[in-house]
Amino acid sequence: MKLSEKALLYRELAKLVGADFHLDRSIDLMLKQQPSHARRTWLQGLQLGLKEGKGVATSITDHCGAFSDALEFALIDAGERSGRLGDAFSHLARYFEAWDMAVRQALGAMVYPLVLAHLGIVLPELPTMVTASMEDKDISLSGIFMPLAILWLIILSLFLLWRWLSRLGAESAAVDQWLSRIPLIGGVRRHWALARFSQVFHACLLASMRMTECMLLAGGASHSGMLRHAARDAAQRIAAGETIAGAMADVHGFPLVFVHGTATAEEAGTLDHEMNRWAAAEAIEAGDAVQRAAQWLPKIAYGLVVMYVAYRIITMMTGYYGGMMKQIESL
């Protein structure tokens, strides 16, 4: 399911549940709106689970697992337990709206460098093609099609590699730590991961879950291998009797300022407000990181294109003048 479709799905559910519509009635109303195939399948899966007597979170886990992730499971489960299901849907709608906007900004910023890359491949070949046509020679397009094929092979390979590494980074602390060090992109990953962790931890606190369960669910929903492993180790320490902040300080993975904020909030009894504040602040930081990446990545790509075009021009001129010199020497 696309990010925009998820945002629309949860926004409509939040609107109806917030207006005290029964969830069965809300699903019927949304199915009558002729939703997309993915949203209709998700709604029908939830409807089937409810008819079987299951809870909302269990229904989504059993019948909508292909369209949902750990963040959705955790927030909906916490919202259902706390009686704040509408708030959980609202949180998810805002999250997917922000994430969809971030992706659109990143893709939009890369359009211009991609166009330049294509022009950089095509334009240097035009003089050769014009000369060949004037001399009644066969025009070879291999100089255009081959570089274009290589360009798109590189783009596709980088996309698949990043997708694989991102999924691996959600489980592996070592891979996640390495990805977090990548300039521009690493900051986006770190801020989104902490925003997801804080949001789920806040929802779990409102549902009065055990602290160990809050920690494990938040770590799993963070999509960060570092936070996942840190949350698991911290949960073991909390179960052994340590404080939340003390357990977080003893493990590697949580930012120091986040641990200090948690420590003061734990002492003051305002841990739920602190986690909610961190979730909002980190979402803003993630948006700013996306904007920085959207500003600099196209410039880097533009620089690479300029260097490639310069190389092609130099190569073309060298071959042209080299041929002229050979003709002069042969006279």
The structural domains of the chain, with segments of one domain joined by +, span 3-105, 110-331
Decide which of 318 and 88 is more confident. Answer: 88
DSSP 199: H
- What pLDDT, on the 0 to 100 scale, is given for residue 238? 92
Q: Kindly report, residue by residue over 252-279, the tens digit of the pLDDT.
A: 889 999 999 999 998 898 998 999 899 8
Q: First-to-last CA distance in the chain?
A: 70
Q: Kindly report, residue by residue over 165-202, the tens digit of the pLDDT.
A: 888 988 888 899 898 888 878 888 889 899 989 988 98
- What pLDDT, on the 0 to 100 scale, is given for residue 127? 65
Q: What is the mean pLDDT of the chain?
A: 83
- What pLDDT, on the 0 to 100 scale, is given for residue 235? 93
| The residue to which tokens 């992109």 are assigned | 185
- What pLDDT, on the 0 to 100 scale, is given for residue 231? 92
The two tokens of residue 182 are: 């990548």
Task: Determine which of 10-14, 102-106, 190-194 has the lowest per-residue pLDDT on average.
Answer: 102-106
Residue 137 confidence class, pLDDT cut points 50, 70, 90: low
Find out whether 193 and 223 touch, Cβ atoms under 8 Å.
yes
Q: Kindly report, residue by residue over 288-325, the tens digit of the pLDDT.
A: 887 787 777 777 777 777 777 777 667 766 655 555 55
Q: Tell me what the mean pLDDT of segment 66-90 comes to.
A: 84
247: amino acid identity, one letter:
A
Q: Kindly report, residue by residue over 24-46, the tens digit of the pLDDT.
A: 888 888 888 888 888 888 888 88
For the chain, the C-alpha Rg in angstroms (whole number) is 27
Q: Tell me what the mean pLDDT of segment 226-247 comes to.
A: 91
CATH number for 3-105 (one of 3.30.530.80, 3.40.50.300, 1.20.210.10, 1.20.81.30): it is: 1.20.81.30
173: amino acid identity, one letter:
A
